[in-house]
Amino acid sequence: MHLDLRSKVAVFFSTVFLASVLSKDTVFFLLTVILLLYVAALGYSKSTVKIVLAITIISIMRLISKGNGFGVMLPEMFLFIVIRTLVIILSVIPIIKTPPGELMAVMKKMKVHRNIALPLIFMMRFFPVVRSEFSEIIDSLKLRGLISFRKPLITMEYLFVPMMFSSSKIAEELAAASEVRGISANGKHTSRREIKFRKFDFLVIILTVLLTVGLYFMEGVMMK
């Protein structure tokens, strides 16, 4: 199942709005379930496992603490913000997984200026690659026995110094690869996928609006 990028962005903005206004856990978890079905329908369910696990753990922690948090280290406000951020990340997954060529083609069609489009595309490609590199550095440090919780400052130095150099190299390689493929070239940018709104995209937009309004009013009813 394939969605147009603009439909994915509409779902993202709807999620940001709801995550910021919903306070009742029942309505918020209903939003979470809807997003999980949405992501699974697009074929990205494997990417949500860790996020769902984190949401479950934080929800249990909030239930155990009865909304009071766990002292200064884990206050309730911190747990409240983190769980909403994780739900927003759920809605971002389909956008991040969109191929760069399709991203560029959609932004060209939407008349987005290249000074805005190019940084966005580079950013969306940069973070997944850095995440993979970060995991490899951690594995390398573990093999050498250089990760120690007894010496956190030294461990951070061993971790972040190679990460900084690696990030700089990755940014240069991504920029060079994109330039070779003509990402900043003038003219019409094409994509292997046809960039247009389909019936399913209209259906998703309509459902997004209806669910946003429905969950917002459900929140209002439960507040009374």
Amino acid making up residue 110: M
pLDDT, tens digit (0-9, with 9 covering 90-100), for 13-50: 999 999 888 888 888 889 999 999 999 888 888 878 88
Residue with tokens 């903005």: 13
**Cβ count within 10 A of residue 64:** 9
DSSP secondary structure letters along 152-171: HHHHHHHHHHHHHHHHHHHH
Q: Is the confidence at residue 104, as pLDDT, over 90?
A: no
For residue 190, give both structure tokens: 């094409």
Report helix angle 25-41 to 199-223, nearest 10. Answer: 170
What is each CA distance from 204 to 42, 73, 222, in whole angstroms? 12, 41, 26
The ranges assigned to domains in the chain are 1-98+194-224, 100-192
Q: What is the pTM of this model?
A: 0.71
* Average of per-residue pLDDT across 62-72: 75
Three-state secondary structure call for residue 15? helix
Structure tokens at 182: 């003509």
SS3 of residue 74 by DSSP: strand
Say whether pLDDT at 52 is over 70.
Answer: yes
